[in-house]
Amino acid sequence: MPWVFRTYQRPSGRDDVRDWYAGLRPANRATVLNVLQYLRDRPRDEWLRPDFDLLHGKCSGMGEVRFKLDGVQHRLIGHFGPWRSSLTFLLPVLKRGRTFDPRNWEDTAVRRRTEIEADPGCTNVWLG
């Protein structure tokens, strides 16, 4: 059974992941879509670097789908859930060296995961 990718929707209706994706150049959107389609059709134990990595610390149990677009590392931070075989993207993160944008991405990810666990209705299906 293929994975279902979802995105977190803010109470205001904004969706940071969809906004990020819409702002990419067409070639970069194609790269993102190719990686997501590749992961979607594979069992979780086949999700490996460079496309995917598990997170640790505050974000333990979450993962990141990784892309290098125009020389910049992009990460989609995801939470496994709210349903079986679903990964909900919580926010996009840019990484330049040791600097992350947004800087408070871990706190945001934890807060959004908690919101999803309380109300799965704040997520929407997304395939790119």
With cut-offs at 50, 70 and 90, classify the pLDDT of residue 128. Answer: very low
Q: Are 92 and 74 in contact (CB under 8 A)?
A: yes
What's CA 65's distance to the chain center, in Å? 6
Indicate the fold that domain 4-125 takes in CATH: YaeB-like fold (3.30.2310)
Domain ranges of the chain: 4-125
d(CA 127, CA 5): 6
The predicted pLDDT at position 1 comes to: 73
User: Which pLDDT tens digit goes with each residue over 52-103?
Assistant: 999 999 999 999 999 999 999 999 999 999 999 999 999 999 999 899 999 9
pTM: 0.95
The predicted pLDDT at position 69 comes to: 97
